[in-house]
Structure 1
Amino acid sequence: MYDCGRIAVIGGGSWATAIAKIVVGHTHHLGWYMRRDDRIEDFRRLGHNPAYLTSVRFNIDEIEFSSDINKIVQAYDTLIFVTPSPYLKNHLKKLKTRIKDKFVITAIKGIVPDENLVCSEYFHQVYDVPYENLACLGGPSHAEEVALERLSYLTVGCSDREKALAFSEILASEFIKTKISSDVIGIEYSSVLKNVYAIAAGVCSGLKYGDNFQSVLMSNAVQEMSRFLKTIHPIDRNITDSVYLGDLLVTGYSNFSRNRTFGTMIGKGYSIKSAQIEMEMIAEGYFGTKCMKEINRHCHVNMPILDAVYNILYERISPQIEIKLLTDSFR
C-alpha cells in the first residue's frame, strides 16, 4: 500500500479547515500553509481558525503552521491545495521548491484564470507533476457539514489506484465515507460547472421561480454537464454518481452554497460588485463561468445554462430577460 507520508494543507479557508480537521484526526500531525502571519498567531492563541469554521477546535501541538510555502513544501510529501482558484497562481509564484515528486491533491473547485486549465492540468503542464502524482477531491461536501461531523461522501480521483486508496483511507471515518475514481479531469470540470449551475439556481430563486422550475433547471444542468464531459474527456462514467450529480444538487439547493447565495443576490437586483462585497467569501462560479465560456468556444457544446449565466454576469443582460429566454428553451 502506498504511504502518503507527511501531509500538508495549502490554504486557510473553510474547506481547507474542514479537510485539515479530517486529516489531522487520522495522522495527528499536519503541515499548514497560511498566507497571513496574523491569522496563524490568532489560530495558535485561540485553538481554532479565527476567520472560518470558528467552532472547529484543533490541538495546536499537532500542527506546524507557516506563512512560508517553500518551508511547508520542502518538509511534506503530500500537498493538499485548497486555495481559491483565482489566487492559486499568486501562491505558486512564491514557490522555489520542485513539486514534481510530491503527491499533489487539489481540492480546488475552480479553473485557473487566464490559463483556462483545471488545477491538475495546470500542475502537470506548468510544474511537470506527472499524472500518477496528481489527485483531486470531489464532493458532495459543504465544509460546514463536514465540520459538524454530518455524514458526507467524498471521492478521491487519481490515475494511480494505490495512491487514491491510500488517501481515501486517511479521510475515512464514522462520518466520512470515501470512494475512488480514475476520472480526475471529469471530476474537476464537474466541480467547476456545478458552481455555475448553482449561480443559475440562485438567480432563479432571487427572481421568485419556485421549486418546480428549480427541478427542471437541475435536470437540464446535469444533461448539459454530461454533454460537456463527454466532449472534453470521453470516457465511460456514470453522471448520476454522487461526485457529479450529488455535488450538483447540494450546491444548487443548499443554503450553505456560496454560489447559490451569490446568484440569489444577483436575482434580487444586487450588482456584481455589491454581491461580492457583502458575501465576503469567493464565489468560485463567478470566475468559472468566464473560463468555461472561453473553453467552450473551442468545444462547441450546447450549453444554454452556461451561456445564460455568462450573459447575466459579464454582458450585464437583465436576469429577468435571460432566465425567461432560458425557460423557453427547456422542455
Structure 2
Amino acid sequence: MIHIGVIGSGSWATAMIKMLTDNAIEKQIHWWVRKEEDIDYIKQYRHNPSYLSAVEIKLEKVQLVAEVKAVFAASDIIILNTPAAYLEDALKDLTPEDFKGKLMVSAIKGIVPSIKLIVGEYLNRKFDVGLGDTVVIGGPCHAEEVSLEKLSYLTFASKNTANAATVEQYFQSHYIKTVESNDLLGVEYGAVLKNIYALAGGICHGLGYGDNFQAVLISNAIREMEYFVNAIDPQPREINKSAYLGDLLVTAYSQFSRNRTFGTMIGKGYSVKSAQLEMNMVAEGYFASDCIQDIILQHQLEMPICNTVYNILYKQEPAASAVRKLTDKLT
C-alpha cells in the first residue's frame, strides 16, 4: 500500500486530503497539521476548525501527525502544501537524507521569498532533489469548489512524466480529472505569475475599472506570461491550456480568489499591511511580485503588468496613477 504525506493544513491542503481520500485506490495518508489543538479538534469532530470546515475528514484513511520529520519517514510520496513563505520553516529540521527515495510533489503556487526560488528549484538546491523526482500540481482548481465536488481539472507536471502519472492516479475521481505535462518550470512559473495578474485585476476592480478593461488586462497578461516562461525556459508549450490560461482566468475572475480580493482592497485604498491583516489567508501574489521583479531585471524583460503591481506594492506608487500609466502600454 502506498503512503502519502501532506505537509500543510490550510484550505488547499484540506482540499487535497479530500481529493486523496475520495480517490478509490487504497492508500494511507499522513497529514502534518501545524497546531496541536487543530489535531485534537480534527480527531474529535472530523473537520478542520479553520479551513473548509464543511469537509469531513475520513480519519480511517488519515493519520494526523505533529512532526514533519515523522511524515517524511512514513511516506513514499510527499505533497508540500503550505504557503510558499512558510515552507522553509516547515522543513527546517530536515536534511537531504530525509528526501532520499521520496517522490516530491509541490502544490504550492508561489515562490520561496527569502531565496526567491520556485519550489522545484528550492528543493533541488537545498535538499538535492532532482527535478525529475519533483512533480508540480497546477491548473484552475479552487479549494472551495473541490469541497463542493465541482468538476475540476488538475495538471501534473514533471521532467519525468512517469512520476507525473504515478501521482495523478491518486487524485482522480468523479469530480477530479487530470492532465499530464513535462513542462515543470512553465507550469510552476505560470502558477506564480497568475497570482500577480489576479492581483492586478483586483486592483483595477477596486479602482472602478469595468469588465471591458479587465478583458484587455487579462488578454495582455497571458501574452506577458508566455513571454516570461519562454524567456526563462524556452520549449514548445501551448499557453492556452488549462494549466496556464485556465488557471489565470479562474484566479483573475473567481469570487474565491484571495489574490483578486487582496488586489481589490489595495485598489480601494487599503495599505498592504491593512489588507494582509484583514485577510485570513495568504495572497501568494504579494510575495511573488517582489521575487519575479528580480528575475525580470536579471533577464531584462519587458513586463509592464508585473512592473505596475510591483511599483504599487513595494514602491508605494498610488494605484490610480500606476494603472493609468499601464493603460497606455496595453493593446
The TM-score, its normalising length taken from structure 1, stands at: 0.97
What is the alpha-carbon distance in structure 1 between the residues aligned to residue 56 and residue 149 of structure 2? 13
Aligned to 1:205: 205
What is the alpha-carbon distance in structure 2 between the residues aligned to residue 287 and residue 162 of structure 1? 32
What is the alpha-carbon distance in structure 2 between the residues aligned to residue 133 and residue 213 of structure 1? 42
Unaligned runs of 5+ in 1: none
What is the alpha-carbon distance in structure 1 between the residues aligned to residue 27 and residue 172 of structure 2? 15
Q: SS at the partner of 2:328?
A: helix
Q: Which moved more, 1:239-248 or 1:16-25?
A: 16-25
Q: Is the 8 A contact 2:137 2:154 kept in 1?
A: yes
Q: CA deviation at 1:330?
A: 1.2
Q: SS at the partner of 2:170?
A: helix
Q: Is the 8 A contact 2:150 2:175 kept in 1?
A: yes
Aligned to 1:98: 98
Matches within 5 A, 1:42-53: 42-53=41-52
What is the alpha-carbon distance in structure 1 between the residues aligned to residue 22 and residue 151 of structure 2? 16
Matches within 5 A, 1:318-329: 318-329=318-329
Over residues 239-263 of structure 1, what are the superposed CA-to-partner deviations in whole Å (9 max), with x where a residue is unaligned? 0000000000000001100000000
Matches within 5 A, 1:106-117: 106-117=106-117
What is the alpha-carbon distance in structure 2 between the residues aligned to residue 247 and residue 101 of structure 1? 31
What is the alpha-carbon distance in structure 2 between the residues aligned to residue 100 and residue 220 of structure 1? 42
What is the alpha-carbon distance in structure 2 between the residues aligned to residue 29 and residue 56 of structure 1? 18
Q: SS at the partner of 1:52?
A: coil
Q: SS at the partner of 2:137?
A: strand
Aligned to 2:276: 276
**Paired AA for residue 160 in structure 1:** N
**Paired AA for residue 9 in structure 1:** V
What is the alpha-carbon distance in structure 1 between the residues aligned to residue 308 and residue 18 of structure 2? 38
Q: Which moved more, 1:102-111 or 1:168-177?
A: 168-177
What is the alpha-carbon distance in structure 2 between the residues aligned to residue 330 and residue 164 of structure 1? 37
What is the alpha-carbon distance in structure 1 between the residues aligned to residue 117 and residue 51 of structure 2? 28
**Paired AA for residue 298 in structure 1:** Q
**Paired AA for residue 230 in structure 1:** N
What is the alpha-carbon distance in structure 2 between the residues aligned to residue 131 and residue 114 of structure 1? 21
Aligned to 1:33: 32
Q: Is the 8 A contact 1:155 1:178 kept in 2?
A: yes
Aligned to 1:18: 15
Aligned to 2:83: 84
Q: SS at the partner of 1:313?
A: helix
Q: Matched residue pairs, number?
A: 328
Q: Is the 8 A contact 1:100 1:130 kept in 2?
A: no
RMSD of Structure 2 on Structure 1 (CA)? 1.1
Aligned to 2:187: 187
**Paired AA for residue 23 in structure 1:** L
Q: SS at the partner of 2:99?
A: coil
What is the alpha-carbon distance in structure 1 between the residues aligned to residue 295 and residue 59 of structure 2? 43
What is the alpha-carbon distance in structure 1 between the residues aligned to residue 114 and residue 62 of structure 2? 34
Over residues 131-187 of structure 1, what are the superposed CA-to-partner deviations in whole Å (9 max), with x where a residue is unaligned? 221100001110000111001010000122222112112111111110100111111
Q: Is the 8 A contact 1:101 1:129 kept in 2?
A: no
Q: CA deviation at 1:299?
A: 1.1
Over residues 280-318 of structure 1, what are the superposed CA-to-partner deviations in whole Å (9 max), with x where a residue is unaligned? 210000000000001111111110000000000001110
Q: CA deviation at 1:25?
A: 2.1
**Paired AA for residue 130 in structure 1:** G
**Paired AA for residue 134 in structure 1:** T
Aligned to 2:73: 74
Percent same amino acid at aligned positions? Answer: 46
What is the alpha-carbon distance in structure 1 between the residues aligned to residue 274 and residue 130 of structure 2? 41
What is the alpha-carbon distance in structure 1 between the residues aligned to residue 188 and residue 162 of structure 2? 20
The list of structure 1 runs, each at least 4 consecutive aligned residues, that deviate by more than 3 angstroms after superposition, is: none
Aligned to 1:259: 259
What is the alpha-carbon distance in structure 2 between the residues aligned to residue 206 and residue 217 of structure 1? 14
Unaligned runs of 5+ in 2: none
**Paired AA for residue 250 in structure 2:** V
Q: Is the 8 A contact 2:29 2:61 kept in 1?
A: yes
Matches within 5 A, 1:162-311: 162-311=162-311
**Paired AA for residue 10 in structure 1:** I
Q: CA deviation at 1:116?
A: 1.3
What is the alpha-carbon distance in structure 1 between the residues aligned to residue 219 and residue 199 of structure 2? 15
**Paired AA for residue 8 in structure 2:** G
**Paired AA for residue 44 in structure 2:** R
Q: SS at the partner of 1:136?
A: strand
